């Protein structure tokens, strides 16, 4: 498997497809029995699949943040404190 083929076919994978392929790669590496060259190829494929999964997760996190009006750090609105949070000792939200 060439590096070019690896990157070409990864861009079309859904998160679930990439995750399932990554699980397969890890299983094959853990079983052993592959040649050094096969192991290196599997490792490279696994790294690329993990990166593709991370792209999907980062995109999902960004979409959720936008949908909820959250800032990129995970807080909501101007501050992360809300009603009932430790910063709101009296429970009024003020």
Domain chopping of the chain, boundaries: 3-68
The two three-digit tokens of residue 51, written as one number:
């990166």
pLDDT > 60? residue 82: no
Question: Between 39 and 89, whose confidence is greater?
Answer: 39
**CA distances from residue 62 to 45, 54, 57 in whole angstroms, order as listed:** 26, 12, 9
Residue range 38-57: mean pLDDT, rounded: 97
Residue range 60-88: mean pLDDT, rounded: 66
pLDDT > 60? residue 15: yes
Please give the torsion angle defined by the CA atoms of residues 6, 11, 15 and 21, in that order, rounded to the nearest 10 degrees: -20
Q: Which of 2-6, 9-13, 38-42, 61-65 has the lowest mean pLDDT?
A: 2-6
Per-residue pLDDT, 5: 53
Residue range 14-37: mean pLDDT, rounded: 97
User: What band does 51 get if pLDDT is binned at 50, 70 and 90?
Assistant: very high
């Amino acid at each position: 498997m060439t590096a070019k083929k690896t990157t070409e076919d990864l861009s079309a994978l859904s998160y679930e497809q990439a995750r399932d392929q990554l699980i397969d790669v890890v299983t094959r590496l853990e079983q052993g029995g592959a040649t050094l060259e096969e192991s290196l190829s599997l490792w490279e494929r696994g790294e690329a699949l993990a990166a593709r999964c991370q792209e999907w997760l980062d995109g999902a996190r960004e979409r959720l943040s936008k949908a909820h009006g959250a800032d990129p750090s995970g807080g909501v609105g101007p501050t992360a404190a809300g009603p009932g949070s430790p910063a709101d000792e009296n429970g009024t939200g003020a």
